[in-house]
Amino acid sequence: MKGYRFYAEYKDAKNKREGEPAPDNVVAVFLDDNNRPIGFFRNSEYLYECEFSLFSHANSVVCSGSVHNEYLRDQCKRVSEAKAREIHPQLFAVLDHYAGINGN
């Protein structure tokens, strides 16, 4: 799926390092036409625009928002689209819907 970079969310940094338990949800960071994350500056920090879980339980409903690079680095791990689809089907219900609306 073009236009996104996927990150599996872990409960905390220790779980991320150990890879256990399995991640619960996925963050989908929006990318521009040059494959760079889309975002904005707030208080001299860059935040990425994304779709992510609204709640902390597995396969949560999805909302739009922004995420800090430190959160992605500390509590997330980049994953393939196939793995992201497996982890967080609700996210892809939303992204596939967007793709249908935009004709992608």
pLDDT of residue 27: 96
Bridge partners for 50 per DSSP? 29, 65
How many domains would you assign to the chain?
1
Determine the structural domain holding residue 48 and report its residue range: 4-102
Mean pLDDT, the chain, whole residue set: 88
- % of the chain residues with pLDDT over 90: 60
pTM of the predicted model as reported, rounded to 2 decimal places: 0.86
Q: What is the DSSP letter of 99?
A: H
Average pLDDT over every residue of 61-69: 94
CB distance 54 to 62 below 8 Å: yes
Q: What is the DSSP letter of 73?
A: H
Average pLDDT over every residue of 33-53: 92
Tokens of 24: 């619960």
pLDDT, tens digit, for every residue of 66-97? 999 999 998 899 999 999 999 999 999 999 98
With cut-offs at 50, 70 and 90, classify the pLDDT of residue 44. confident
pLDDT of residue 20: 62
Tokens of 11: 């409960």
- Residue 21 scores a pLDDT above 60: no
